[in-house]
Structure 1
């Protein structure tokens, strides 16, 4: 998605991304460790860190870490990274292979959600079952993760 400033973002707000259709995972499971894969790195950033990072934070950090971008060059590298469209978390191996979905809050902060978690469905009163009273969301958009890479990064 394009930002008003002319850059791009992968962030969503008040959105649920469910696992990809056809995934073999019956529940959210950790990816194998030790290889530094995209899935392993995304999982490490998100698991146990609900609502701390945005999708942009996760995707850029994984890319920069894998490319060895030094800390002092990350600000400029991030601007360059998001100067063009990037695949969002709908293309994540966590959603495509390992049974994880993503829930975004109103501030675009992301949390991992397992495939079997019933609290994702909101009650009729406008809040999810796992959500404290007074923290209702007006609506929660829902998208499925993509089974295949998108044809276009724009949109």
Structure 2
């Protein structure tokens, strides 16, 4: 699912007060670490589907040449099943990052303590739909 003009707030039960850069000691980083790297390096460069694809090919370590020759096949296989939206990502659930989808559906991250986060969550950003990230624990 891809949103437009939407901001996903940090989950109510997020354990951090500021945006924390996720790291992993694993040789193959988990999806949220790859997501963060892509979105931090290139805000508003990816829509939801493009981000999922990039995370997938990096996580599966699909060589660049194969990505070029089999992109439509890889894309088709990837999207033949549903995927959760970024409301379920560890970035807003655990690491303190709000997720903004602009008018074109392109995505950027904003730390919980940033002025941009305050702007989007204050209700002063005209035309922006506010959603909460999914909680980590049941109530």
Contact 2:3 2:105 in 1 (8 A): yes
TM-score, scaled relative to structure 1: 0.73
Structure 2 CA distance for aligned equivalents of residues 98 and 148 of structure 1: 12
- Given the alignment, which residue of 2, 8, 15 partners 1:17? 8
- Given the alignment, which residue of 113, 131, 136 partners 1:143? 131
Task: Name stretches of at least 5 consecutive residues in structure 2 with no aligned partner.
Answer: none
Q: Output the aligned Cα RMSD.
A: 2.3
> Per chain length, whose mean CA-contact separation is higher, i.e. which structure has more relative contact order (CA < 8 Å, sep 6+)?
2
Structure 1 CA distance for aligned equivalents of residues 34 and 55 of structure 2: 6
TM-score, scaled relative to structure 2: 0.81
How many residues align? The count is 129
Task: Name stretches of at least 5 consecutive residues in structure 1 with no aligned partner.
Answer: 1-9, 129-137, 150-155
* SS of alignment partner, residue 47 of structure 1: helix
* SS of alignment partner, residue 13 of structure 1: coil
Residue 80 of structure 2 corresponds to residue 89 of structure 1: no
Q: How does 1:1-155 map to 2 (within 5 A)?
A: 10-35=1-26, 36-69=29-62, 70-71=66-67, 72-120=69-117, 121=119, 128=125, 139-148=127-136
* SS of alignment partner, residue 112 of structure 1: strand
Structure 1 segments of 4+ aligned residues over 3 angstroms from their partners? none
